[in-house]
């Protein structure tokens, strides 16, 4: 089997597992969230939906595989987009940029609402929920426009070369300044988002500790788990997205021998990050964890009852 086919099959496998797990996560969050977690439910669903859009467009539609073309390292797109023309490649690349940017914005929104709730503004959040939703929608619209424009500039400066039925995106040496500028802006935006999340996390933890005496142990434990789950979800993208991307970029810039292998790993680690993020939320948040345990117990109890009934029936037939 050719290497491109193997790489594509691996993309379909890990992206499919991630989407199935994401759908199960959405089912648990939608059906098992108590009324007290309404705000948390809405913000976390917003985040996971953007995660899944990025996962689908990247893991099913695009599927970049590193290849060499005229002495340059170029990503080759072997996913479903390979069956379409150049315009669809541009649209899918822009869609990936928009979904990734909105994922970062959704993460910031999660931390803002978490901080707002812990600070004791639940009444404000409830009474102005429509206004808050409009603000969040406006943030996503502006982020989509900015990221879409940046992705369009990036792909416009590249050469889309067709080889073996698939397009490759290569950059000329004269366009490296634009690519470097766009990467700098992207890095700056990620730094600002990371700083915002860090500040909101520290403030949320401090306020939660200061209000510990005003809460019952169960409420405090739930609020602490909600906050810690978000903190872990913010750390996971750094470990599985940002760090592999930086390492892969450095290896490709200096043309290391194994840069292609680092690139392949960096393109697939985000899928693991999405699954781990969903697993952390389901494990940390008590209502979701208890709902999963009830489902597991039902699955184990029913076969046990059936086996007991069958054993009893066979025993009576023998007698």
pLDDT beneath 50: ranges in the chain: 1, 121-127, 305-306, 308-310, 312-313, 316-317, 319
How many whole angstroms separate alpha carbon 79 and alpha carbon 8?
Answer: 6
Q: What is the C-alpha separation between 84 and 315, in angstroms, rounded?
A: 64
In 3D space, the residue among 178, 193, 18 whose CA is nearest the CA of residue 107 turns out to be 193
Domains assigned to the chain: 3-313 (1.20.1070.10)
How far apart, in whole angstroms, are the C-alpha atoms of residue 122 and residue 39?
9
Q: What is the pLDDT of residue 306?
A: 43
Collapsing DSSP states into helix, strand and coil, what is residue 160? strand
**pLDDT of amino acid 44:** 93
For residue 1, what pLDDT is reported?
47
Q: pTM score, two decimals?
A: 0.84
Determine the pLDDT at residue 67: 81
pLDDT more than 90, % of the chain: 28
Q: Taking the CA of residue 234 as centre, how many other CA atoms within 13 Å lie in the half-sphere pointing to its CB?
A: 26
């Amino acid at each position: 089997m050719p290497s491109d086919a193997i790489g594509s099959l691996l993309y379909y496998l890990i992206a499919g597992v991630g989407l199935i797990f994401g759908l199960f996560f959405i089912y648990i969050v939608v059906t098992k969230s108590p009324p007290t977690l309404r705000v948390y439910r809405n913000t976390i669903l917003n985040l996971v939906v953007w995660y899944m859009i990025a996962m689908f467009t990247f893991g099913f539609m695009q599927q970049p595989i590193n290849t060499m073309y005229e002495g340059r390292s170029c990503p080759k797109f072997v996913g479903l987009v390979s069956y379409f023309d150049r315009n669809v490649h541009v649209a899918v690349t822009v869609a990936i940029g928009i979904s990734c940017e909105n994922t970062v914005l959704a993460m910031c929104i999660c931390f803002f609402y978490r901080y707002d709730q812990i600070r004791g503004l639940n009444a404000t959040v409830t009474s102005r929920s429509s206004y808050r939703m409009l603000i969040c929608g406006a943030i996503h619209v502006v982020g989509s426009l900015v990221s879409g424009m940046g992705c369009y500039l990036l792909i416009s400066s590249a050469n889309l070369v067709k080889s073996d039925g698939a397009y490759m995106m290569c950059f000329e040496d004269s366009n490296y300044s634009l690519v470097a500028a766009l990467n700098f802006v992207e890095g700056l935006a990620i730094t600002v988002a990371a700083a915002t999340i860090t500040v909101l996390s520290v403030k949320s933890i401090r306020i939660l500790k200061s209000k510990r005496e005003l809460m019952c142990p169960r409420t405090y434990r739930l609020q602490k788990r909600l906050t810690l789950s978000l903190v872990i979800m913010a750390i996971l993208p750094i470990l599985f997205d940002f760090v592999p991307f930086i390492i892969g970029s450095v290896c490709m810039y200096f043309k290391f021998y194994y840069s292609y292998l680092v690139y392949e790993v960096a393109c697939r680690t985000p899928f693991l990050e999405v699954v781990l993020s969903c697993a952390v939320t389901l494990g940390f948040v008590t209502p979701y964890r208890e709902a999963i345990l009830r489902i597991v117990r039902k699955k184990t109890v029913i076969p046990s009852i059936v086996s007991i009934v069958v054993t009893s029936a066979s025993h009576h037939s023998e007698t």
